[in-house]
Amino acid sequence: MTFTQQDARPELESAPGSEWWRTAVIYQIYPRSFADASGDGLGDLPGVTAHLDDLKELGVDAIWLSPFQRSPQKDAGYDVADYRDVDPIFGTLADFDAMLAGAHDRGIRVIVDLVPNHSSDQHVWFQEALNAAPGSPERARYIFRDGKGKNGELPPNNWESVFGGGMWKRVTEADGTPGQWYLHIFDESQPDFDWTNPEVRAEFESILRFWLDRGVDGFRVDVAHGLIKAAGLPDFTPDPEGGSMGGDAAGVPYWGQPGVHEVWREWHEVLAEYDGERALCAEAWLPTVAQTALWVRPDEMHQAFNFAYLETKWDAEALRDVITESLHEYAAVGAPSTWVLSNHDVVRHASRLALTAENPQGAGIGPKSPGKPDPVKGLRRARAATSLMLALPGSSYLYQGEELGLPEVIDLPDDARQDPTWFRTEGERYGRDGCRVPIPWTADAPAYGFNDTGAAWLPQPAEWAEFARDVQREDPASTLSLYRSLLAERRAHGLGAGSLEWLDGYGDDVVAFRNGPVTVIANLGDGAVELPAGDVLVASGPLDGDTLPTDTTVWIAAA
């Protein structure tokens, strides 16, 4: 069976199928941990600008920046106080413009994070809401409700925050009495907007235009499945074993409500007014690929993260199934499939793929976690997994540091941890700090070249010198060299715009397919696999003569 992105192209587009985001490799920058030009221990926008040549050399098509807007940083910037300004810790709007121009000069597109589900409690609207009376227009921008119980002392429903604890916080009214409650899916410093309110919609349309006018190529839309809540806010008890962001259960009253699609249709229209193929990418954790595909119908968003792929175990059959399903479901709505293995919310795949115990999304791993990964096996699998992913048709996302093979940092000291998950669950869940440690650039430098001062907002492990970019650049067997080769061959052979044809005969534990002139074979089994004839374009690890060892992927040019 053959699936092609060609089939997926919508008929309504003026230049069907040629848009950059259909095939792009997009590199996620988590600004606070990428590069720190100011030396204060937190990365910044001038740090990004200073390393654009490294990204060009790596060979990515675009970058996505996690939030850098004004924020008290209670959730590492996903708590925005002013959507139209850069937080001073990251620089200024002028620094942003310089970064954007520098990226565009190098042919690199830039998408920025937009956080519409909630603001910071320091946002002027929320402050106005706190100072206004129940029932006022100021409160109507957020989700305020009276409490239950005799004196309103109980929360309006039983919903639990993604970060642990309840989803409601009670405020004190202007006269000093205990008052209404407001909803926060995440931390209590992140009140949810009421997206049924036209004022909220108008404000975000204006925010979109602010960044589009500055020249951004699109937006990664945070918590795109959360904006609309089920009418009446009915009680709901999630599966305690489930992941924190949803995606495990159907019928959750605060995830994936049909009303969100109207918002994306409005946003689609706004972006379409601009030239340059601006794009929207949904962060939507939903139970099925088919449901996620609804986010990228032709008049909605352009891409959605393929979290079903990210969450697939290192198992050949499971991978074949999720790839087949993804290509089918996204093609059915005229969208490309995306692929992703790591981001700032999940355990890095160089560790995750070797975990031996269940690890729900958001739990993280730390000193007391069961099933700690074997780092050698993890890196070997990560290299094989990325080599498989980058051969698939569609668009792929990379997360900073994975091109260095960075593992999750497991042994962060308790007092260094900063993820609200850690605090709200009182240490029961480690959260996401382990994938957010500042990345190493230079082996023999303070903070491994993250800055000049040696400061780092999360401590970097002593053994990270060996992962530093300068060391890997010189080593043809390094993970960095592998990523560069994969990206160059992917581009040379047009794999992003290609098609997938499954190849039989390699056994159940092998994922094998052809994409245009390239045969891709990933061996997830214990035994060696005989290689077909043809030139080896790239291999994720050493080959054994004419055989492919376990946990290794190879790209072969058809003979």
Three-state DSSP string of 126-153? HHHHHHCCCCCCCHHHECEECCECCCCC
Pairing of strands 178-183, 144-145: antiparallel
200 touches ligand GLC by CB under 6 A:
no
Q: CB within 8 A of 482, min separation 6: which ones?
A: 383, 386, 387, 538, 540
User: Rule CB under 6 A: which of 264-293 touch ligand GLC?
Assistant: 283
295 touches ligand GLC by CB under 6 A:
no
Nearer to ligand GLC, 277 or 345 (CB): 345
186 touches ligand GLC by CB under 6 A:
yes
Nearer to ligand GLC, 23 or 28 (CB): 28
Closest separation in Å from C-beta 364 to ligand GLC: 12
Find the binder of ligand GLC among 81, 130, 216, 223 (CB under 6 A).
Answer: 223
- Residue 144 phi/psi, 5-degree rounding, is -95, 140
Find the binder of ligand GLC among 345, 408, 433, 551 (CB under 6 A).
Answer: 345
Nearer to ligand GLC, 225 or 469 (CB): 225
> Taking Cα atoms as reference points, which of 400, 407, 432, 397 lies closest to residue 306?
397
112 and 219 in contact (C-beta within 8 Å)?
yes
Q: Which are the catalytic amino acids?
A: 222, 283
252 touches ligand GLC by CB under 6 A:
no
Closest separation in Å from C-beta 103 to ligand GLC: 22
Count of residues that interact with ligand GLC, criterion CB under 6 A: 10
d(CA 255, CA 152): 26
485 and 520 in contact (C-beta within 8 Å)?
no
Nearer to ligand GLC, 161 or 515 (CB): 161
192 touches ligand GLC by CB under 6 A:
no
115 touches ligand GLC by CB under 6 A:
yes
Q: How many CA atoms lie within 13 A of 283 on its CB side?
A: 21
Closest separation in Å from C-beta 34 to ligand GLC: 15
> Taking Cα atoms as reference points, which of 398, 397, 417 lies closest to residue 409?
417
61 touches ligand GLC by CB under 6 A:
no
Residue whose CB is nearest to ligand GLC in the complex, by number: 78
118 and 222 in contact (C-beta within 8 Å)?
no
Closest separation in Å from C-beta 173 to ligand GLC: 28
- Helical axes 375-389 vs 479-492, angle rounded to 10°: 10
Which of the 8 DSSP states describes residue 544?
Answer: B
30 touches ligand GLC by CB under 6 A:
no
Closest separation in Å from C-beta 218 to ligand GLC: 16
Closest separation in Å from C-beta 75 to ligand GLC: 5
d(CA 223, CA 157): 21
Find the binder of ligand GLC among 21, 27, 68, 78 (CB under 6 A).
Answer: 78
Closest separation in Å from C-beta 101 to ligand GLC: 27
What b/e sequence results for 526-555 when a residue is b if at least 16 CB atoms lie within 10 Å of its CB, and e otherwise?
eebbebbeeeebbbbbeeeeeebbbbbbbb
Find the binder of ligand GLC among 75, 194, 217, 329 (CB under 6 A).
Answer: 75
Closest separation in Å from C-beta 187 to ligand GLC: 8
Helix (H, G, I), strand (E, B) or coil at 281: strand
d(CA 138, CA 171): 14
- Residue 254 phi/psi, 5-degree rounding, is -115, 5
Helix (H, G, I), strand (E, B) or coil at 207: helix
3 touches ligand GLC by CB under 6 A:
no
Find the binder of ligand GLC among 44, 222, 408, 551 (CB under 6 A).
Answer: 222
Sites of contact with ligand GLC (CB under 6 A): 75, 78, 115, 186, 222-223, 245, 283, 344-345
